[in-house]
Amino acid sequence: MGTKVFIDGHEGTTGLRIHKRLQARPDIELIGIDPAERKKTAAVKRCMEAADIVFLCLPDAAAVEAVALADGTNVRIIDTSTAHRSDPAWTYGFAELSGQQFEAISKTKRLANPGCHASGVIAAVRPLTEAGLMGGDYPLSAFSLTGYSGGGKKMIAKYESGEKPAELSAPRQYGLTQNHKHLQEIVTVCKLQREPVFLPVVDDYYSGMEVAVPVFTHLFGEKVGLAEVRDVLAAHYDGSPFVHVHAAGEDKGGFLAANSLSGYDDMDIFVTGNDERIVVTVLFDNLGKGASGAAIEYMNIMLGLDPATGLVLHG
Ligand SMILES: NC(=O)C1=CN([C@@H]2O[C@H](COP(=O)(O)OP(=O)(O)OC[C@H]3O[C@@H](n4cnc5c(N)ncnc54)[C@H](OP(=O)(O)O)[C@@H]3O)[C@@H](O)[C@H]2O)C=CC1
Ligand SMILES: CC(=O)N[C@@H](CCC(=O)OP(=O)(O)O)C(=O)O
């Protein structure tokens, strides 16, 4: 008998990708819900009670309500929303942080999946703070490009409508008040003393992210250059099936494209620049390692399986 999985919000962008990846797996039994009942408390509760694992692919408020329905059950919840990422009662995803994090994910019943932009910043920064190169007081900034599927069904509909206004054909900066919802998890997980300056940009392509973190090496605690920074990142992710740190010159003829991992569940890191000024660039899919792919990776870890089971990796 397979693991019983219920995807609450399976008709949304994140839920659909999880469904697509899981429906092909003989070890997983997907619990269906009548489309007319999918927002009805009693029906959702019944599905949760029948499940071993529940993915929440809902807006924040709906995710909080859904968690309350699981009270008194033994179900394990993976929440893709922002609602529980800073809740100490929940385990934060991103298994690649450390062996300890992997272990915590394997045991938890309440897992908060990382935010898509946050996944890129954390992948670039956390190994540098952990190695003592970047102090907690480092004046961090990050630039993050995302495809429009990052905004869910409503944003997809706007970008794909025949009457698209002209500005949707250009990159659009947002988060203009410096209050983006991913800042808190970035500060906590990267062990920073203050929030970074964060520049998210949504552009006219379906999916894929390019998170670029500028680094001044003269602000580091010790004298290091480009090669050492790359070595720290490469050592941190050594052996990971999901995070690949590229060697010098492995970019595409001097370009890095934000949609290059669209459709894949893993992540590429490039370290470019010179010994004084470096950019750590992280490429992945907002629906892959930024959401649905990561959520399935953590389910696999919970089930004691190879973390890459059923996922699509390019590297
Ligand atoms: N898109 C992305 O790249 C990423 C998304 N996320 C997170 O994933 C979650 C889902 O986002 P996304 O898939 O993009 O959003 P979508 O808007 O595409 O999908 C959300 C789905 O939830 C459904 N829904 C809303 N309220 C309820 C409810 N009370 N009960 C049951 N279903 C409900 C919606 O129904 P209806 O179809 O009727 O609108 C919709 O199908 C969000 O919390 C988001 O922050 C995280 C990382 C990346
Ligand atoms: C283009 C766009 O709007 N993207 C969303 C990020 C996707 C998302 O819903 O964020 P979580 O990863 O926190 O769930 C945003 O920046 O708010």
Q: Is 57 in the pocket of ligand 2 (CB under 6 A)?
A: no
Nearest-angstrom CA–CA distance, 268 and 263? 13
Q: What are the average pLDDT values for consecutive 10-residue runs of the chain, which has 315 residues?
A: 95 98 97 97 97 98 97 95 97 97 98 98 98 97 98 98 93 98 98 98 98 98 96 98 96 94 98 98 98 98 98 92
Which amino acid, one-letter code, is at 30?
L
Q: What tokens were used for 292?
A: 């649905």
The answer to whether residues 23 and 292 touch, using CB atoms and an 8 Å cutoff, is: no
Please tell me the predicted confidence (pLDDT) of residue 315. Answer: 74
What's the pLDDT score for residue 148?
A: 98
Ligand 2 pocket, residue 307 CB under 6 Å: no
Active-site amino acid positions: 116
291 close to ligand 1 (CB < 6 Angstrom): yes
For residue 1, the model assigns a pLDDT of: 76
Q: Are 216 and 223 in contact (CB under 8 A)?
A: no
- Is the shortest distance between the CB of 93 and ligand 2 below 6 Å? no
pLDDT confidence of residue 273:
97
Alpha carbon separation from 11 to 3, 24, 35, 152, 158 (Å, rounded): 21, 17, 9, 11, 18
Residue 119 near ligand 2, beta carbon < 6 Å: no
Nearest CA to ligand 1 atom 31: 39
Strands (E), the chain: 3-8, 28-30, 53-56, 76-79, 91-92, 110-112, 141-147, 172-173, 197-203, 209-216, 243-245, 267-273, 277-284
pTM, rounded to two decimals: 0.97
pLDDT at 162: 86
pLDDT of residue 252: 84
State in Å: Cα 250 to ligand 1 middle.
Answer: 36
How many Å apart are CA 280 and CA 180, to the nearest integer? 21
Q: How far is the CA of 223 from the centre of ligand 2 (A)?
A: 36
Please state, in angstroms and rounded to a whole number, the distance separating the CA atoms of residues 245 and 149: 26
Residue whose CA lies nearest to ligand 2 atom number 11? 115
The domains located in the chain, with CATH, are: 3-114+291-303 (3.40.50.720), 116-284 (3.30.360.10)
Residue whose Cα lies nearest atom 14 of ligand 2: it is 81
Which ligand is in closest contact with the Cα of 156?
1
What is the Cα–Cα distance from 111 to 94, expressed in whole angstroms?
10
For the stretch 172-188, pLDDT in tens is 999 999 999 999 999 99
Closest atom of ligand 2 relative to the 114 alpha carbon = 12
State the ipTM, two decimals. 0.96
Q: What is the DSSP-derived secondary structure letter of residue 227? A: H
| Residues 43, 63: Cα–Cα separation, whole Å | 15
